[in-house]
Structure 1
Amino acid sequence: MMRMVQLVDGIVERVLPRIRRRPAVAYPIAVAIFVAAALLRVLLSNWLPISLPFLTFFIAVLLATLIAGSGPGLLVVAASLAFAWRFYFFDSHQYSQFETALALSAFALMAVLIVAVVHLLNSKVESLLYERDRNEGLLQDSALGELHLEQLNVELRHRLKNTFAVIAGLVSQSARYSMDVQSFAKSLSGRLAAMGTAMDLVATRSFLGASLNELIVDTLKPLVPPGAARMTIQGADGIIPGEVANALALTLHELGTNAIKYGAWSGDKGLVRVSWTFDRLNDDDAQFELVWEESGGPAVSQPERRGLGSLLIDSGFPSAKVEREFSPDGVVCRMKAVVKQTTTGRTRGRRAVHSKS
C-alpha cells in the first residue's frame, strides 16, 4: 500500500506537470484519450440512451485536461463536438436543427466549464507543489520544516482525491437522473459552478477552509431573483473545512434551485432567510446549525419522486443531520453537525447580517 501511495505521489507531483509543460507529449496523449472515448461510446451504443451522446466525452475532457492541460482539453472538446455531430446528429431524424444546436452548445459550455475547473485545480496543485519545494529548500535542516512538508503532502493527496471523486460522482449521478442532454448540462453546470466557488474560497486560505459568510453569499448570488430584498442571511462568520465547504455549497445550490422552480423565488414576493449558529464545544470543534427558511411563496408539498437534487440536500455534508419540512408557508431545511472550526482575530465573534436585492 505504501508503495502504491508513493507511486501515485510521484505521478501527480512529477510526471503530470512535466507532461503538461511539453506540448509534443501532451497533445498526442489527449488525442489518444479522445480516440478511446469515441471507441467506448460506439461500443456502448446499445446500452446508453440516445439522449446522452456525450457521456464518455465528458470523462475524456476531464482526463485530458487533468493529464495534458487545458489546451489539449479544449482540443478534446472540439473533437468530441465534431464526432458527436457527425455520428449522432448529422443523419438523425430524432433531433431538429434547433435541438441539435442546443445539445452541441450545452455540451460545449459544460465541457469548457470542466476544463476551467480542472485548470484551476491543476494551477492550485502546482502552486502548492512549488510552495512545498520552496519550504523544503528553506527548512530542510529543521524538524519543524519536515513536519510542515509532511502536512503539505497529506493535504495535497487528500484534496486531489476528494475533488476528483466529487467531480466524477457529479458527472455520473447527473447523467443517471437526467432525461435529456439539456437537463443534464444545466444541472451539472450549476453544481460544478457551486463546487468551483467553494474550491476557490478554500484555496485563497491555503486550504485551511472557507469563510461561511462568503460561501453562502457567493453560492446564492447567481440564483437570487432581482427586485426587492429576496434573501437575508444572519450568523457568526467562521472558517469551515474544505470538505464541508464543497458539500454545503452543493446543498445551498440545490435549495436555491428548488426555490426558483417551486418555492419562494418562483414568484415576485417570496423571501429566503438563511441563518446559522456556532456553539463552541471545545478548542477544535463547534456545534453548527444552519436554517434555510422560505416564506411568501406558493404552498409546497413533499415531492413524489426523489431526484439527485433531493439526495444532495438530504445527504448534507459529512456528519450532518438534515431535516426538511414542507409547510404551507414554505420549505424549512435544518442542518446540524459538529465541525472543525478555525477562527482568526478578524472573524472571531463577528456577526454577519446582510440582505440581497
Structure 2
Amino acid sequence: MQYVASAGICRANMPAFPRTLVRPLRGKLSGYAVAIGLAIIATILRQAADNLLPPGFPFLTFFPAVIVTAFVAGRGPGALCGVLSLLSSWYFFIPPANTFVLSAPVATALLFFAAVVIVDVLLIDGLQQRQEKLVESQRQLAAMADQQTLLFQELQHRVANNLASVSAMLRIKRRQIERAPESALALLESADQRIELMGRVHRQLYDPAARELALPEQIENVVAQAQDVAGASHVTVIVSAVDARLAIDRMMTLMLLITEVLNNSIKHAFPEGSAGEVRLTLDRVAAGRLRLTIADNGKGLTPEAAGTPRHNGLGTAITKGFATQLGGTISVDGSKGVTTVVEFPEG
C-alpha cells in the first residue's frame, strides 16, 4: 500500500502543463489568416499612433504582432507576419513614406528588425516544442504510474492466492505424513520443489523486462524452469503455441498448470531417469477459446496405476483447481502415455 500511495503522491506532484497555451491554433489556414490579420491591425495601430510618436519608431506595433502570432499559430505564421510587418513598416513608416527606397540606413534598420523577428520566432517555437515534449512526458509518466499501480495490485492479489495455494498444499502433505510417516522426506521434497517452481514462475511473469515477451516465449521459459527444478534433462519438451492474449493473473494460472502437469509427467511417466518426450500444444479451437494439450510418451495409466498418486493425488487436485480458475474444463487420457487437455476462454 505504501507503493500505491507513493505513486499517487508522485502523480499529484507532477507539474501541470496546460495544453491550451501550447500553440492553440493548429490549422495552417487559420494560422496564416491570423498572421495576415495581426499584420494589418499592427499597421492600422501604427498609423493611428503616428502623430503621437517622434520619428524613428517604425516597428513599434509590429514586434508584438509577430510575437503573438508565433505564440498562437507557430513558426510559419510568425515568419509570415514578420515579412508582412517588415514590408508594411518599410513602405508606410520609413522615410521616404509610401516607397520602397533602399538606402544604407534603411537597410540597417530592416536588417535589425529582421534579426529580432527571427530570434523571437525561433525562441518561441523552441519553447513551444519543449513544452509539448514536457506535456507528452507528463502523459507518459502518468500512464506509467497507473500501470505500476495496477501491477502492484495484481501482484498483491497473486501473492495472496499463491500463499493460499501453498497453505492448502502443506495441509494435504501434513495429512499424508500423518497416514504414512515414513514418506515425510519425499513429501517435503515434493512440496519444496512445487514452492520453488511457483516462486520462479512468479518472478518471471512479473519481471518488467519479460512482460513484453510473446506467450510462446513465456511458455518456453516456464518449461525450462520446470525442467531445471526437476533436474529433468533426460526429458525433451516440444512447445508449439499460438500468441494468445491473457491477463497477467490468468497467465500465471496457466503457467502454474503447465508446470504442474510437466512435473507429474517427469516424476511418474519416465521412472529412474529414462528418456522421454512431452509435447505441449496451445491452439485456438474457436473464436476466443484456447486448448492446451500436454502429452507424454511415458508408461501411461494402466488399470493398476489408476489409483497411484499421479491419478488421484495432490498433482491431479492442483491441475483441476487451476483449470477451474481459468474457467475451463480438463480431461486426462492415460491409454497411450498420458494426455492432458484443458480448454478455456482467452482473455
TM-score (norm 2): 0.50
- Quick check: which has more Rg, 1 or 2? 2
Q: Which has the higher helix share?
A: 2
Q: TM-score, normalised by structure 1?
A: 0.49
In terms of fraction of residues, the more strand-rich structure is: 1
